[in-house]
C-alpha cells in the first residue's frame, strides 16, 4: 500500500527562493516568447507548452519528474538534460533559476 | 431705430393691419388640424412633419452616440492594463476606427442637423421646413445606412484604417478586404444626408422666416445653423470626391494616391482635411449657437454682443477653411506653408474666444439659474475653453511636432468635441424637451447626469495630456509595461466608465419622462423668449406672427394670445393644403405662399433603395446594386413628379386682405435656391478635382503626355451652344407663344444632345491618345473628369426624360416654368462643367 | 519599475526631458505654453465666477460688449501674435538645412520595423541594420526618412519632434543627442496591424565609441569566424537550408534577402521584433518558431517545421553574430 502513496503530495519547496522575483526574471528574459505563462499577459508564445497549472503537473516536458531541483536546472539549461529540446539555455543565474521555479510552482489549476 | 428699406417692394405699412381683431370663423382651426394631422399606422414611417422627423433624427443620433460610446468602453477596457488580452489586435483596430467614424459622421453632424430640423421651423415662425420629404429621405437613408454600417462590426468587416483612412494603408494592397469599402460607401449616405439637410436649412432659414424677422432679429441659433449649412455645402464635396477617388483606386486601380504609379498619398490628406477641419466647426457652430440661445434664456437676459457673435460665427466658418494642413505639420511641408497654416490656426481661436466671452458677459448681465441645462452650459464652457487652449498649443508647430499623433491630441480633440458639442447638446436636450414632450426631464436625475459626465470626462481625458507627453502614440491597441503609462491609462478608463454611468442615467430619465407626439407639451419651463415656445400644434403656430424683436416672447406683449387666436398671418389654409409663407432673405417680407407636399411613400422607398445601392455595392453584389440604383432613381422620379402642380388660384389672401402668389419660379423660388445650392456642391467637387489634377501634375510633371490635338474648339462650341439652347428654352417657354411648349421641350432636349455629344467627342479624343486611367496620375484625373462629366450627362438625360414625359402629359405651360427652369439650371451647369474640364485638361499644362 | 527594454521611459515624460538641442527649445516652449494657457484659463474662470457670483457692480462691468472687445479680441491678439512669432522662429531654427558634413542615416519605415542604412560621404548605403540607430553624441545627425509600404512616423521624443515617412517622398529630420545613452521611440502614424508594437531605439555613443562601433558594423560579424565551431556551424546550415537568406541578409555570407531586417549583427541588438522583446537565444528561438504569436500579422511566417535541435542551433548561430 505504501507503494501507492500519492507522490504528488511531496511538497515542492525551494528554500530561500522568491517567486515574485521569479516573475520579474521571466519578464526580463522573455520566457513568454515561447510559453503561455499565467501572470504574463504578453506574449503568449505557442512554441513551447502552456505553463497554465504547471504547479500541478507531474512531469517537466513530459520526461522529467517535476521536482524543484530538476526544474531549477531545466529552466536554466534544458539542453544539458534533453539534447534535442528546442528550449535553449537561458541567461539567468542559478539563484534566479530557483526563483523562476518557485514562481512556476505557484501556478496551480485555479 | 431706422426702418430698413423695403427689399421687395412690400409696403411695411401693411403690418399695421395686424393683429387683426374679432374672432376667426368657425371650423377654421379644425380644418387646419385636419390638414396637418398626425400619422396613423404605416404613416409613422412616411411622416414628413418636422415635429416627428426631428425627434426621429435626434433619437437615431443619440443611438449612434451610445453605440460608439460602448465601443469606447471596450477600447478603454483593453487599454486599462499594458499588454491586455481583452481585445485582439484586429478587433481593437476595427473598434477604434468605428468609434471615430460613428461619432463624427453618424452622431455629431446628424445630431446638430436634427436639432435644426426639430427647432428651426418653430423658431422662425414657419409651419415646416421647405422640403420636408427631403429631410425625411435624408433621415431614412442615414438610419438604414448607418445601422448597416454599424453591423459590419459583427461580421469582422468593419473598417480598420482609422477614421480618416489614410492611403496607402487603405489601398487595395494593404487593405484587401471589403472593410475599407464599407467605410467609403458607408460614408456615402452621410454625405447625401448632410447635403440634403444643408439645402433644407439654408432655404428654410433664408426664405421661411416669419414676416418682420430681419436678419438682425433672427434667433442666434438660426444664424449658427445657416453658417453650418453653408459650410457643409463647401466642405463636404471634398470628402465626397476623396471617397469616390479612393473607391475608384481600390476597385479599378486608378492611381490617385499610389506613389508608385504617379499618385500621392498626400492628395488624400489634403482632400480629406479640407473637409475634415471645417467638419469640426460644422459640428461646433450649431452647438455654440444653441449655447448662445440657452445662456440667454437661462440667465433670462438677451445675449450680449449678438452682432459680434454673429460675426464671430461667420469668421470662424470662414477661417476654418484655411487651417486644414495643421493636421499635416509632420508631413514635411515647406516652411512657408507651415507658417501660413500655423497663423491661421491661431487666428481661428479668436472668434471662438469672442463667443465664450459673450456667454460670460450674458451670464453677468442676467441671473443664471443652475438648472440642468444651466449646468451643462457652464460645464461646456469650461471644457471647451480648456480644449481650445490646448488647440492653441498645438497650433504652435514645434510643440505639434511632439504632440501630433500622440494621446495629447486625443485629449485635445475630446475636450473640444465634448465641450463644444456633446455638453451643449445635452443642455439642448434638457432645455428643449419640454417643447416636444408632455413631460420635462427630471431635474433631480439631470444633476446626477451632469456631474457624472463632467467628472468622468475630466478623469478620462485630463490624464491623456500627460500620457501623450509620456510618449504614447495614438491608435495603439496595447503598450509595453514599465513605461509608466499604466497609471494614467487606468485612470482614464475609470473616468470613461464614470461618464458612461452618467449617460446611462440620462437614458433612464428619457425612458421615464420623454413623451413626444402627444397633444400637448410641457410648456415654457425655462421662460425662454424664442418663438418655438409659442403654443403650437402639428401645424406649428395657429397663425404666423410678425416679429419685431429678437426675443418676441419677452418683448412683444400678448403675442402668444394673439397668435393662438389667429390674429396674424395665415390663420387658415387658403388652398386647402399644407402651406407656409415664403419671405425675402434679408427683411423677411412676404413673397408668396409655399405649398408643402403631403406625406407619401416615395421618399422612404427612395431612401431604402439608395441605401441598398451603396450597401450592395460594398458587398460586391453588383447586379442587385444596379437594380437598387435604378429603383432609387424611379422613386425619386415619382417623388418629383408630384411637384410643380397645376395651380388652383393665382393669388391667395394670407391674412388681413394681403394677397400673394401661390406659385413662384425664378430666383425668388425655394426650388431655384435648392437647385443652385446643389450646383454649388457639384461645383466644389469640380474645384477639388481641378486641385487634384494640378497637385498630381506638380508631383510628376514629366509623366504628363500631350492632350489630344484636335477637338477642343468643337467641344467648347458644343458646350457653349448647349448653354445658349437652355437659355433659349426657358425664354421661349415664358414667352407663351402658341407653340412654346413644343419649342421649349425641343430646345431643352437639343441642349442635352449637344452636351452629350461634346462629352463623347472629349472622351473618344482622350481614348485615342492611348492614355488609360490606370497608367498615371494624369490618366486617373483626366478620366475622372470625364467620368464625372459622364455622370452629369447621364443624370441630365434622366432629366431630359422627365421633361419629355412632362411635355407628353401636357404639363408644360408658360404659367408653370419652374420645372424647365430648374432642369435648365442643371443642364447649363453640366455644359459649363464640361467646358471647364475640357479647357483645363487640354490647355494645362498643354503641349 | 524595471528599465523598459527600449529605453522609452515614461517618467519623466520624454517630451519634457530633452536630451539634445532639437528637443530642448521645444521643452522650453512647452512649459511656456502650459503656463500661458493655465493663466488664461484661470482668468476665464475668474470672469465666469464673477459673472455668476460676484457683486452687482462687478457683474455690470463684465456684462457688456466691452469685455468682448477687450478680453475676447484685443488681449488674445496680443498674446497669440507674440506666441506665433516665437513659434515660427523656432520652426525655422529646427528645420534649418543640413550641413553637407553631417552624418546621414536613411531610415525606411516598413510594416512593422525600421530599415536603417548608414550612408557614406557620397550618400550611398554603406551598410544596413534594423530597428536600432546608432549615432555619435554632440553633433546633428541627418535622418533621411522614407517609407516602403504605408505611412509611418519616426518619433524619438527625448531627441526631438516627429516626422512622417510617406511613400514617394523623402523627408529630412535632424536630431542630436548630447549625452551617450539609449533613447526610445515608437512609430507615431497608424500603420495597421501591430502598429502598437513598432518601437525603435536610438543609441548615442561618444565619438570614439561610435567610430569603433561603426567599423565593427560595417564589416561582417566576427561571430562568423567561429562558424566552424558547433553548434554555430549547424545553425548556419539550418539558416541556409531553411531559405532564411531569401528575406534576410548577413554580411559575409551569400544570404542577401532585402525583404526583412538585416541580420549581420543581430546578436548585438538590444531588442528583437522592433523594441518589443529582450534579445537572447531563447526569445530569438521563440520568434523564429512562431513570431505570429508574439507580433500578430507581422510579415515573417512561423516555422513550425524546425525541430527543437534546429531551433536551438539556428538561434545560437544568430546570437553569435554580434
Q: Do A46 and C308 touch (CB under 8 A)?
A: no
A neighbour chains, 3+ CB pairs within 8 Å: B, C
Q: Which three cell numbers stand for residue B404?
A: 501630433
The string of pLDDT tens digits covering residues B477-531 is 999 988 899 999 999 999 999 999 999 999 999 999 999 888 788 888 888 889 9
Q: Do B81 and A41 touch (CB under 8 A)?
A: yes
B296/B366 Cα distance (integer angstroms): 8
| pLDDT score of B842 more than 60 | yes
The answer to whether residue A62 sits within a structural domain is yes
Q: Which three cell numbers stand for residue B582?
A: 415664403
- Taking a contact as any Cβ pair under 8 Å apart, which residues of chain B between 771 and 830 contact chain C? none
B260/B254 Cα distance (integer angstroms): 12
pLDDT bin (cut points 50, 70, 90) of residue A11 is low
A53/A110 Cα distance (integer angstroms): 8
- Taking a contact as any Cβ pair under 8 Å apart, which residues of chain B between 559 and 578 contact chain C? none
CB of B632 within 8 A of CB of B645?
Answer: no
Is the backbone peptide bond immediately before C112 cis, with ω within 30 degrees of 0? yes
Chain A residues in contact with C312 by the CB 8 A cut-off are 79, 85-88
Q: What is the pTM of this model?
A: 0.95
Q: Do A42 and B81 touch (CB under 8 A)?
A: no
Chain A residues in contact with C282 by the CB 8 A cut-off are 29-31, 33-34, 87-88, 90
Strand-strand pairing, A64-65 and B579-583: unpaired
The answer to whether residue A76 sits within a structural domain is yes
Give me the mean pLDDT over the B822-845 stretch: 95
pLDDT bin (cut points 50, 70, 90) of residue A4 is low
Give me the mean pLDDT over the B762-776 stretch: 95
Domain CATH code at residue A85: 2.60.40.420
| pLDDT score of A5 more than 60 | no
∠ CA(B349), CA(B354), CA(B357), 5° rounding?
A: 125
CB of A75 within 8 A of CB of A25?
Answer: no
Q: Give residue A58's domain range.
A: 17-104
Question: Pick from B4, B280, B400: which is nearest to C155 by CA?
Answer: B400
- Chain C nearest-CA distance from B712, in A, is 34
The answer to whether residue A48 sits within a structural domain is yes
Helix (H, G, I), strand (E, B) or coil at B170: coil
pLDDT tens digits in sequence order for chain C, 322 residues long:
456 777 788 889 999 999 999 999 999 999 999 999 999 999 999 999 999 999 999 998 888 888 888 888 898 999 999 999 999 999 999 999 999 999 999 999 999 999 999 999 888 999 999 999 999 999 999 999 999 999 999 999 999 999 999 999 999 999 999 999 999 999 999 999 999 999 999 999 999 999 999 999 988 887 776 555 666 888 999 999 999 999 999 998 989 999 999 999 999 999 999 999 999 999 999 999 999 999 999 999 999 899 989 999 999 999 999 8
Separation in Å, CA C240 to CA C219, C243, C248: 20, 5, 11
Cβ contacts of B740 within 8 Å, gap of 6 or more: B732, B733, B814
Cβ contacts of B792 within 8 Å, gap of 6 or more: B682, B829, B830, B833, B834
**Which chain C residue is nearest to residue A83, measuring alpha carbons?**
C309
CB of B744 within 8 A of CB of B804?
Answer: no
Interface mutation vs chain C, best among A35, A36, A43, most C CBs within 10 Å: A43
The answer to whether residue A2 sits within a structural domain is no
Q: What is the ipTM of this complex?
A: 0.96
Number of Cα atoms under 13 Å in the Cβ half of residue B752: 23
CB of C215 within 8 A of CB of C261?
Answer: no
CB of B537 within 8 A of CB of B201?
Answer: no
Q: Quick one: pLDDT at residue C78?
A: 94
Q: Quick one: pLDDT at residue C2?
A: 54
Range of weakest confidence among A33-47, B158-172, B484-498: A33-47
Handedness of CA C299, C303, C308, C311 (dihedral sign): negative
Q: Which three cell numbers stand for residue B94?
A: 476595427
User: Between residues A10 and C41, which one has the greater pLDDT?
Assistant: C41
CB of B185 within 8 A of CB of B121?
Answer: no
The answer to whether residue A69 sits within a structural domain is yes
Cβ contacts of C261 within 8 Å, gap of 6 or more: C113, C115, C129, C130, C131, C248
The answer to whether residue A75 sits within a structural domain is yes
Q: Quick one: pLDDT at residue C1?
A: 40
Query: Shortest CB distance from A85 goes to which of C278, C280, C308?
Result: C308
User: How many beta-carbon contacts under 8 Å exist across A and B?
Assistant: 10
| Cβ neighbours of B486 (radius 10 Å) | 17
Helix (H, G, I), strand (E, B) or coil at B579: strand
Cross-strand bridge partners of residue A60:
A64
Residue B715, Cβ density class (10 Å: 0-12 exposed, 13-18 middle, ≥19 buried): buried
| Cβ neighbours of B701 (radius 10 Å) | 10
| pLDDT score of B1 more than 50 | no
Q: Does C306 touch chain A (CB under 8 A)?
A: yes
Percentages (nearest 5) of helix, strand, coil residues in chain A: 45, 5, 55
Cβ contacts of B432 within 8 Å, gap of 6 or more: B115, B118, B119, B532
B296/B302 Cα distance (integer angstroms): 5
Q: Do A33 and C283 touch (CB under 8 A)?
A: yes
> Residue A36: what are its φ and ψ, rounded to 5°?
-85, 120
| Cβ neighbours of B736 (radius 10 Å) | 12
Q: 3-class secondary structure for B668-694? A: HCHHHHHHHHHHHHHHHHHHHHHHHHH
Angle between helices C24-53 and C75-94 (to 10 degrees): 170
pLDDT above 70 coverage of chain B, percent: 99
Q: Quick one: pLDDT at residue B706?
A: 93
CB of C2 within 8 A of CB of B482?
Answer: yes
B779/B253 Cα distance (integer angstroms): 11
Question: Pick from B159, B120, B148: which is nearest to B250 by CA?
Answer: B159
The string of pLDDT tens digits covering residues C158-208 is 999 999 999 999 999 999 999 999 999 999 999 999 999 999 999 999 999
- Taking a contact as any Cβ pair under 8 Å apart, which residues of chain B between 166 and 225 contact chain C? 166-169, 173-175
| Cβ neighbours of A65 (radius 10 Å) | 12
| pLDDT score of B386 more than 50 | yes
B85/A40 Cα distance (integer angstroms): 10
∠ CA(A80), CA(A86), CA(A89), 5° rounding?
A: 45
Handedness of CA B568, B574, B580, B583 (dihedral sign): negative
Pure H helices in C138-231: 207-218
CB of A13 within 8 A of CB of A27?
Answer: no
- Chain A nearest-CA distance from C50, in A, is 52
User: Between residues A110 and B234, which one has the greater pLDDT?
Assistant: B234
CB of B836 within 8 A of CB of B786?
Answer: no
- Chain A nearest-CA distance from B461, in A, is 26
- Total domain count for chain A? 1
Q: Quick one: pLDDT at residue C226?
A: 55
> Residue C198: what are its φ and ψ, rounded to 5°?
-110, 80
Chain A residues in contact with B85 by the CB 8 A cut-off are 41-42, 44
C112/C300 Cα distance (integer angstroms): 11
CB of C43 within 8 A of CB of C49?
Answer: no
Interface mutation vs chain B, best among A41, A43, A52, most B CBs within 10 Å: A41
Range of weakest confidence among A39-53, B216-230, C124-138: A39-53
pLDDT above 90 coverage of chain B, percent: 80
Chain A residues in contact with C287 by the CB 8 A cut-off are 33
Strand-strand pairing, C132-136 and C199-205: parallel
The string of pLDDT tens digits covering residues A94-109 is 999 999 999 999 987 6
Chain A residues in contact with C307 by the CB 8 A cut-off are 84, 86
Is the backbone peptide bond immediately before B594 cis, with ω within 30 degrees of 0? no
Q: 3-class secondary structure for B757-783? A: HHHHHHHHHHHHCCCCCCCCHHHHHHH
| pLDDT score of B75 more than 70 | yes
Interface mutation vs chain A, best among C199, C291, C308, most A CBs within 10 Å: C308
∠ CA(C195), CA(C197), CA(C202), 5° rounding?
A: 105
| Cβ neighbours of A7 (radius 10 Å) | 9
Handedness of CA B808, B810, B813, B819 (dihedral sign): negative
Helix (H, G, I), strand (E, B) or coil at C118: strand
The string of pLDDT tens digits covering residues B416-468 is 999 999 999 999 999 999 998 889 999 999 999 999 999 999 999 999 999 99
Question: Pick from C319, C315, C294, C291: which is nearest to C303 by CA?
Answer: C291
Chain C residues in contact with A51 by the CB 8 A cut-off are none
Q: Do A44 and B478 touch (CB under 8 A)?
A: no
Amino acid at each position: 500500500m505504501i507503494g501507492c502513496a500519492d507522490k504528488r503530495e511531496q511538497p515542492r519547496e525551494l528554500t530561500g527562493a522568491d517567486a515574485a522575483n521569479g516573475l520579474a526574471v521571466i519578464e526580463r528574459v522573455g520566457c513568454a516568447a515561447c510559453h503561455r505563462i499565467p501572470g504574463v499577459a504578453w506574449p503568449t508564445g505557442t512554441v513551447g507548452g502552456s505553463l497554465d497549472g504547471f504547479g500541478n503537473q507531474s512531469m517537466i516536458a513530459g520526461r522529467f519528474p517535476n521536482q524543484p531541483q530538476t526544474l531549477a536546472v531545466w529552466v536554466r539549461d534544458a539542453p544539458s538534460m534533453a539534447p534535442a529540446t528546442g528550449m535553449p539555455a537561458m541567461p539567468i543565474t542559478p539563484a534566479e533559476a530557483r526563483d523562476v521555479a518557485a514562481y512556476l510552482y505557484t501556478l496551480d489549476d485555479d | 431705430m431706422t426702418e430698413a428699406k423695403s427689399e421687395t417692394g412690400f409696403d411695411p405699412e401693411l403690418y399695421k393691419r395686424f393683429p387683426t381683431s374679432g374672432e376667426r370663423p368657425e371650423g377654421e382651426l379644425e380644418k387646419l388640424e385636419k390638414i396637418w394631422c398626425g400619422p396613423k399606422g404605416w404613416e409613422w414611417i412616411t411622416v414628413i412633419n418636422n415635429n416627428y422627423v426631428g425627434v426621429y433624427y435626434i433619437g437615431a443620433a443619440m443611438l449612434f452616440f451610445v453605440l460608439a460610446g460602448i465601443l469606447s468602453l471596450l477600447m478603454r477596457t483593453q487599454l486599462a492594463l499594458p499588454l491586455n488580452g481583452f481585445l485582439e489586435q484586429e478587433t481593437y483596430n476595427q473598434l477604434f476606427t468605428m468609434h471615430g467614424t460613428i461619432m463624427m459622421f453618424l452622431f455629431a453632424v446628424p445630431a446638430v442637423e436634427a436639432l435644426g430640423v426639430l427647432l428651426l421651423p418653430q423658431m422662425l415662425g414657419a409651419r415646416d421646413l421647405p422640403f420636408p420629404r427631403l429631410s425625411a429621405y435624408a433621415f431614412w437613408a442615414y438610419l438604414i445606412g448607418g445601422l448597416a454600417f454599424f453591423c459590419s462590426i459583427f461580421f469582422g468587416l468593419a473598417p480598420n484604417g482609422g477614421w480618416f483612412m489614410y492611403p496607402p494603408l487603405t489601398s487595395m494592397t494593404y487593405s484587401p478586404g471589403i472593410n475599407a469599402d464599407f467605410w467609403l460607401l458607408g460614408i456615402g449616405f452621410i454625405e447625401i444626408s448632410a447635403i440634403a439637410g444643408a439645402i433644407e436649412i439654408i432655404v428654410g432659414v433664408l426664405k421661411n422666416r416669419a414676416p418682420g424677422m430681419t436678419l438682425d432679429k433672427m434667433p442666434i441659433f438660426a444664424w449658427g445653423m445657416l453658417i453650418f449649412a453653408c459650410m457643409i455645402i463647401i466642405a463636404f464635396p471634398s470628402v465626397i470626391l476623396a471617397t469616390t477617388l479612393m473607391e475608384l483606386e481600390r476597385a479599378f486601380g486608378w492611381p490617385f494616391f499610389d506613389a508608385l504609379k504617379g499618385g500621392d498619398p498626400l492628395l488624400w490628406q489634403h482632400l480629406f482635411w479640407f473637409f475634415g477641419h471645417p467638419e469640426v466647426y460644422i459640428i461646433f457652430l450649431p452647438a455654440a449657437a444653441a449655447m448662445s440661445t440657452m445662456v440667454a434664456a437661462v440667465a433670462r437676459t438677451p445675449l450680449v454682443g449678438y452682432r459680434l457673435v454673429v460675426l464671430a460665427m461667420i469668421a470662424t466658418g470662414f477661417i476654418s477653411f484655411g487651417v486644414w494642413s495643421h493636421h499635416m505639420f509632420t508631413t514635411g511641408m515647406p516652411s512657408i506653408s507651415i507658417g501660413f497654416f500655423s497663423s491661421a490656426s491661431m487666428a481661428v481661436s479668436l472668434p471662438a474666444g469672442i463667443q465664450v466671452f459673450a456667454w460670460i458677459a450674458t451670464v453677468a448681465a442676467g441671473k443664471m439659474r443652475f438648472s440642468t441645462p444651466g449646468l451643462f452650459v457652464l460645464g461646456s464652457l469650461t471644457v471647451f475653453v480648456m480644449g481650445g487652449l490646448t488647440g492653441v498649443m498645438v497650433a504652435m508647430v514645434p510643440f505639434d511636432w511632439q504632440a501630433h499623433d500622440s494621446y495629447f491630441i486625443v485629449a485635445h480633440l475630446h475636450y473640444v468635441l465634448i465641450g463644444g458639442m456633446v455638453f451643449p447638446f445635452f443642455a439642448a436636450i434638457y432645455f428643449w424637451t419640454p417643447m416636444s414632450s408632455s413631460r420635462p426631464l427630471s431635474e433631480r436625475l439631470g444633476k446626477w447626469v451632469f456631474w457624472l459626465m463632467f467628472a468622468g470626462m475630466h478623469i478620462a481625458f485630463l490624464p491623456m495630456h500627460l500620457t501623450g507627453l509620456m510618449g504614447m502614440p495614438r491608435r495603439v491597441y496595447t503598450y509595453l509595461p514599465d513605461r509608466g503609462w499604466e497609471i494614467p491609462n487606468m485612470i482614464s478608463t475609470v473616468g470613461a466608465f464614470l461618464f458612461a454611468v452618467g449617460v446611462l442615467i440620462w437614458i433612464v430619465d428619457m425612458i421615464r419622462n420623454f413623451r413626444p407626439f402627444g397633444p400637448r407639451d410641457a410648456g415654457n419651463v425655462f421662460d425662454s423668449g424664442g418663438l418655438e415656445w409659442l403654443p403650437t400644434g402639428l401645424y406649428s403656430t395657429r397663425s404666423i406672427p410678425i416679429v419685431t424683436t429678437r426675443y418676441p416672447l419677452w418683448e412683444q406683449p400678448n403675442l402668444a394670445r394673439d397668435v393662438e387666436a389667429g390674429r396674424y398671418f395665415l390663420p387658415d389654409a387658403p388652398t386647402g393644403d399644407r402651406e407656409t409663407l415664403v419671405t425675402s432673405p434679408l427683411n423677411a417680407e412676404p413673397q408668396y405662399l409655399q405649398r408643402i407636399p403631403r406625406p407619401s411613400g416615395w421618399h422612404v422607398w427612395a431612401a431604402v433603395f439608395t441605401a441598398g445601392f451603396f450597401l450592395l455595392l460594398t458587398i460586391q453584389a453588383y447586379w442587385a446594386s444596379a437594380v437598387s440604383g435604378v429603383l432609387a432613381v424611379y422613386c425619386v422620379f415619382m417623388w418629383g413628379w408630384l411637384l410643380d402642380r397645376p395651380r388652383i388660384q393665382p393669388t391667395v389672401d394670407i391674412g388681413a386682405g394681403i394677397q400673394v402668389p401661390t406659385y413662384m419660379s425664378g430666383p425668388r423660388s425655394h426650388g431655384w435656391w435648392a437647385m443652385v445650392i446643389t450646383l454649388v456642391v457639384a461645383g466644389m467637387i469640380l474645384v477639388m478635382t481641378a486641385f487634384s489634377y494640378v497637385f498630381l501634375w506638380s508631383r510628376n510633371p514629366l509623366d504628363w503626355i500631350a492632350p489630344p490635338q484636335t477637338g477642343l474648339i468643337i467641344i467648347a462650341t458644343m458646350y457653349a451652344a448647349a448653354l445658349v439652347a437652355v437659355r433659349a428654352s426657358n425664354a421661349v417657354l415664358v414667352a407663351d407663344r402658341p407653340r412654346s411648349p413644343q419649342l421649349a421641350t425641343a430646345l431643352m432636349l437639343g441642349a442635352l444632345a449637344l452636351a452629350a455629344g461634346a462629352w463623347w467627342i472629349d472622351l473618344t479624343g482622350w481614348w485615342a491618345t492611348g492614355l488609360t486611367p490606370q497608367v498615371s496620375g494624369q490618366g486617373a484625373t483626366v478620366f475622372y473628369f470625364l467620368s464625372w462629366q459622364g455622370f452629369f450627362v447621364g443624370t441630365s438625360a434622366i432629366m431630359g426624360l422627365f421633361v419629355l414625359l412632362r411635355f407628353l402629359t401636357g404639363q408644360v405651360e408658360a404659367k408653370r416654368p419652374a420645372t424647365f427652369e430648374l432642369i435648365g439650371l442643371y443642364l447649363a451647369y453640366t455644359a459649363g462643367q464640361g467646358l471647364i474640364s475640357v479647357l483645363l485638361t487640354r490647355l494645362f499644362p498643354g503641349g | 519599475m524595471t528599465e523598459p527594454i527600449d529605453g522609452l521611459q515614461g517618467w519623466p515624460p520624454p517630451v519634457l526631458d530633452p536630451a539634445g538641442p532639437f528637443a530642448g527649445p521645444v521643452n522650453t516652449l512647452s512649459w511656456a505654453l502650459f503656463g500661458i494657457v493655465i493663466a488664461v484659463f484661470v482668468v476665464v474662470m475668474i470672469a465666469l465666477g464673477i459673472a455668476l457670483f460676484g457683486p452687482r457692480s462687478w457683474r455690470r462691468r463684465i456684462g457688456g460688449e466691452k469685455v468682448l472687445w477687450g478680453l475676447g479680441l484685443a488681449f488674445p491678439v496680443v498674446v497669440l501674435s507674440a506666441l506665433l512669432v516665437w513659434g515660427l522662429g523656432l520652426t525655422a531654427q529646427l528645420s534649418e538645412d543640413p550641413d553637407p558634413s553631417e552624418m546621414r542615416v536613411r531610415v525606411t519605415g516598413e510594416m512593422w520595423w525600421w530599415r536603417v542604412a548608414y550612408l557614406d560621404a557620397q550618400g550611398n548605403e554603406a551598410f544596413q541594420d534594423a530597428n536600432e540607430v546608432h549615432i555619435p553624441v554632440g553633433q546633428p545627425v541627418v535622418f533621411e526618412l522614407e517609407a516602403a509600404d504605408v505611412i509611418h512616423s519616426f518619433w524619438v521624443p527625448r531627441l526631438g519632434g516627429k516626422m512622417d515617412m510617406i511613400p514617394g517622398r523623402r523627408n529630412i529630420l535632424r536630431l542630436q543627442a548630447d549625452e551617450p545613452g539609449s533613447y526610445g521611440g515608437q512609430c507615431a502614424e497608424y500603420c495597421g496591424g501591430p502598429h502598437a508594437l513598432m518601437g525603435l531605439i536610438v543609441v548615442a555613443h561618444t565619438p570614439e565609441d561610435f567610430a569603433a562601433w561603426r567599423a565593427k558594423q560595417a564589416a561582417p560579424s566576427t561571430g562568423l569566424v567561429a562558424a566552424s565551431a558547433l553548434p554555430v556551424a549547424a545553425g548556419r546550415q539550418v539558416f541556409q537550408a531553411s531559405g532564411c537568406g531569401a528575406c534576410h541578409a548577413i554580411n559575409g555570407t551569400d544570404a542577401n534577402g532585402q525583404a526583412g531586417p538585416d541580420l549581420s549583427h543581430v546578436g548585438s541588438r538590444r531588442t528583437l521584433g522592433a523594441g518589443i522583446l529582450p534579445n537572447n537565444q531563447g526569445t530569438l528561438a521563440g520568434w523564429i518558431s512562431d513570431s505570429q504569436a508574439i507580433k500578430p500579422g507581422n510579415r515573417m511566417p512561423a516555422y513550425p517545421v524546425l525541430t527543437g535541435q534546429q531551433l536551438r542551433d539556428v538561434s545560437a548561430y544568430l546570437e553569435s553574430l554580434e
